[in-house]
Amino acid sequence: MTTNIHILVVEDSEDDFVLLQRHVRSEQFAATCKRVDTAKGVQDALSQGGWDLVISDMKLPGFHAPAVIEIVRRVAGDLPVIVVSGVVSEEELVATMRAGANDVLLKDRLVRLVPAIERELKEHAVRRAQRDAEARFSAAVEHISQGLVMFDDKQRLIRCNSSYARMYNLPPDLTEQGTERARIDEYTRASGLVRNSNSPPDGDLPQSDAFQMRGMQKLSDGRVIAFSSHPLPTGGWVSTYDDITDQKRTEAELIGHRDHLQELVDAATEKLRTKADVLEKALDQERELNRLKSHFIATASHEFRTPLTIIDFSAQRLRRRVCSTGIISEDVVVWADKILTATRRMARLMDTTLAAARMDEGKVRLRLESCDIGKVVRDCCERYQEFATKHTIVCDADLVGTIYADAAAMEQVVSNLISNAVKYSPDASTIHVNARGSGEQTVLTVKDHGIGIGEPDLKHIFDRFFRAKTSQGIPGTGIGLNIVKSLVEQHGGSIKVESVEGEGTTIIVSLPIAGPPAQKGRDSNKPHYERAPSGAQERVTSPKQNGMGVIDIRLAR
């Protein structure tokens, strides 16, 4: 690879200049050369910069190579200088090398010129890198906030930064390289700043990378200085000094605060001990109240079901009797229908409340089996169409297959969603119910064109007992969607609501076809999954109705 270089040639002979150019231009170098033959020419050319090397003749009219070298060192620093000569005496050679020439070659042996140039360029690059590194190191040392000082094995100062000098109020003459450590210690003691020197002892530190000396000095002005000393590979040591006065002051304040805080904690702990028994008794009472609440809900739901069934049955018989005898009594039929509607609503309310209580107690146990979700959806739509005479329920669930789920839970999910759609769209007649497969999911969508839900209420729509502002005047408990969300999530699915106030609501349920993921461990607050026995007859997923026409969903307990 050819290297481009710029060479300043100090030569009074044009022929010798051409000869030098011929030797320099080779496979290694593409050299650009400029010839000068006076001291002023040398200085002017160097002032312009951009030179990689100087080649000078030993003797020129009016001045010699040492004068050229002196100009180079003054203007261009350590720029390499190679001197060439026809003949050279030993005295001239010695004088030229002492002046700072990097090499001296004879003109009849210029075969050595290219290797010499290559060597000097490499060495110059190394020297420049060393200078840059030294400059960076010096800048870093000067800009750190800690004091830094280095002594050699003779206890003489190698260097210190300005932070160290300011820390001990050292005058400039004590920060010069070569200053004996004893003079610095004597000055700091004489000034009264340092009472006892805790810095490294006289002599070398043990030459071990693992050795480290740490200590603290308390200065007479109240400052606290922490220092750390390490041995240098060439002998001597380096130390860093850090002013930790603020840190120590803060530590003292923290200790005072800690002691005061401990007193406060002890006093508060004593009060907490006094209240602990009261809280424990209150918790026992709360547990008992919760137990009684759950027992009451279960008992009430069971006890109320019997009279409701009788009332429902009686109302149905009365309605049929009136119709079968041919006696036209519109008032009797109307009141019988109102009785049936009220009893069915109360039964649904009890079922919903009982389901919520079971979930709170963690007693819901899903019985997983092959469930024809399309049939469940179609049956629910047909059942609600019977009494939702003012609505048209459009059902599209013919192409969806089976999923692994609890059939009763799926009935409750679909029924709740359709019931809500009917209830909250009193003036909109059409409700769309769609079930379809999507990859590994079955997606159920129930869409109405009713009153909708305001955007502020959407984020709370699944909260227990929450009812949107748009539902005012419409009967409801705010439990249904909470139960639906819980059942969907227990099956490993998800549910979301899209709604615009005044335009309607769409509820989208996604259920995994393969069923919920395997449950790891047992948790009393999570549903327990029970697999249907192999070979056993699967439960019928078509909706069952009791005498009141109400869904009779009983999750396994």
The CATH number for 134's domain is 3.40.50.2300
Q: Are residues 427 and 516 in the same domain?
A: yes
- Percent of the chain residues topping a pLDDT of 70: 80
Question: Rounded CA gap, 6 and 29, in Å?
Answer: 10
Domain-located, residue 420: yes
Domain-located, residue 114: yes
Q: Are residues 237 and 257 in the same domain?
A: no
Q: Are residues 71 and 195 in the same domain?
A: no
Q: Are residues 159 and 134 in the same domain?
A: no
pLDDT of residue 539 exceeding 70, the answer is no
Q: Are residues 371 and 487 in the same domain?
A: yes
Domain-located, residue 349: no
Q: Are residues 43 and 125 in the same domain?
A: yes
Q: Are residues 412 and 521 in the same domain?
A: yes
Can you count the helices (H) and strands (E) in the chain? 13, 20
Whole-number pLDDT of residue 468? 86
pTM here is 0.41
Domain-located, residue 450: yes
Domain C-terminal end among 243, 273, 308: 243
Q: Are residues 85 and 228 in the same domain?
A: no
Q: Are residues 132 and 172 in the same domain?
A: no
Residues 6+ away with beta carbon under 8 Å from 343: 308, 311, 312, 315, 548
pLDDT of residue 265 exceeding 60, the answer is yes
The mean pLDDT value for 541-556 works out to: 34
Domain-located, residue 544: no
Question: Rounded CA gap, 538 and 529, in Å?
Answer: 16
Question: Rounded CA gap, 49 and 386, in Å?
Answer: 101
Domain-located, residue 442: yes
Q: Are residues 438 and 501 in the same domain?
A: yes
Least reliable range by pLDDT among 53-57, 218-222, 541-545: 541-545
Q: What 3 state SS string does 138-179 have? A: HHHHHHCCCEEEEECCCCEEEEECHHHHHHCCCCHHHHCCCC
Residue 425: HSE in the Cβ half-sphere, 13 Å Cα cutoff: 29
Q: How confident is the model at residue 392 (pLDDT cuts 50, 70, 90)?
A: very high
* 147-160 tens-digit pLDDT: 999 999 899 999 89
The mean pLDDT value for 425-440 works out to: 89
Asked if 256 contacts 219 with a C-beta cutoff of 8 angstroms, the reply is: no
Q: How many domains is the chain partitioned into structurally?
A: 4
Domain-located, residue 165: yes
Asked if 405 contacts 473 with a C-beta cutoff of 8 angstroms, the reply is: no
User: For 213, phi and psi rounded to 5 degrees?
Assistant: -110, 125
Which structure tokens are listed for 97?
Answer: 């090398």
CATH of the domain at 227: 3.30.450.20
Domain C-terminal end among 109, 140, 171: 140
Structural domain span for residue 465: 362-531
User: For 505, phi and psi rounded to 5 degrees?
Assistant: -135, 140
Q: Are residues 388 and 513 in the same domain?
A: yes
The mean pLDDT value for 410-418 works out to: 90
Pairing of β 147-151 and β 63-64: unpaired
Using the 8-state DSSP alphabet, how is residue 191 labeled? T
Pairing of β 365-372 and β 402-405: antiparallel
Amino acid type, 485: K
* 433-476 tens-digit pLDDT: 999 998 899 999 999 999 999 988 888 888 877 888 888 878 77
- Which whole-number Å values give the CA distances from 67 to 13, 101, 436, in the listed order? 18, 11, 98
Which structure tokens are listed for 492?
Answer: 């490993």
Q: Are residues 134 and 153 in the same domain?
A: no
* 44-101 tens-digit pLDDT: 999 998 999 999 999 888 888 999 999 999 999 889 999 998 888 888 888 889 999 9
Whole-number pLDDT of residue 444? 95
Domain C-terminal end among 140, 156, 178: 140
Asked if 508 contacts 495 with a C-beta cutoff of 8 angstroms, the reply is: yes
Q: How confident is the model at residue 40 (pLDDT cuts 50, 70, 90)?
A: very high
- Which whole-number Å values give the CA distances from 152 to 177, 184, 430, 482, 505, in the listed order? 10, 14, 96, 80, 85
Asked if 30 contacts 56 with a C-beta cutoff of 8 angstroms, the reply is: no
* 482-538 tens-digit pLDDT: 889 988 998 999 999 999 999 999 999 999 999 888 644 444 444 555 555 544 333
Q: How confident is the model at residue 480 (pLDDT cuts 50, 70, 90)?
A: confident
Least reliable range by pLDDT among 295-304, 384-393, 455-464, 510-519: 295-304
Domain-located, residue 539: no
CATH of the domain at 388: 3.30.565.10
Higher pLDDT, 364 or 73: 73
